Amino acid sequence: MKVILLKDIKGTGKKGDVINVSDGHGRNYLIPRGLAKEATKGNINSLKAQKASEKKKQDNELQKAKELAEKISKLTLKFKSKAGEGGKLFGSITTKDITTQLKREHKINIDKRKIVLDNPIKELGTYHVNIKVYPEVSAKMKVEVVSE
């Protein structure tokens, strides 16, 4: 019997897979518990349409992410901070500061966990910060730290 899985089942398959199972397993376990539905032509066609819709949605999100990454890579954020001798800052510039500044100045909302910063910025200068916009898309942004 062919069934379409509606949920991930360990050892059997992932959601959306069309698999062959024994008649008893399909009729007595998978279908009554809502884990699968019978693989008729109509159900298979609706599954294909659903997968195509999801692919189109992912492609759209990827395109938007690429546009955002291009916009971010053209930006330069300036931070004014008090600094001591040798250009050492009193405090530091963190990912939270960068997200706050991005939101305030450019209306771009990025999660602070998506900003890759090995260590907080603790000295005056220009830094290139990597931002992960989407799983395959990232952008480099310039961050300038100047003395007040």
- pLDDT tens digits for 64-121? 999 999 999 999 999 999 998 888 999 899 999 999 999 999 999 999 999 999 888 9
In a shared domain, residues 33 and 74: no
In a shared domain, residues 7 and 79: no
In a shared domain, residues 42 and 84: no
Are 97 and 105 spatial neighbours (Cβ–Cβ below 8 Å)?
no
Q: Which two tokens stand for residue 46?
A: 């609706």
How far is C-alpha 120 from the chain's CA centre?
23
Cβ-based neighbour number of residue 19 at 10 Å: 17
In a shared domain, residues 57 and 71: no
**Total count of domains within the chain:** 2
pLDDT at 33: 94
**Cα separation, 86 vs 69, whole angstroms:** 34
Range of the domain at 30: 2-61
**Cα separation, 87 vs 124, whole angstroms:** 5
Alpha helices in the chain (DSSP H): 23-25, 41-73, 95-106
Query: Which of 53, 97, 54 minimizes the C-alpha distance to 79?
Result: 97
Are 80 and 147 spatial neighbours (Cβ–Cβ below 8 Å)?
yes
pLDDT at 118: 86
Give pTM, 2 decimals: 0.71
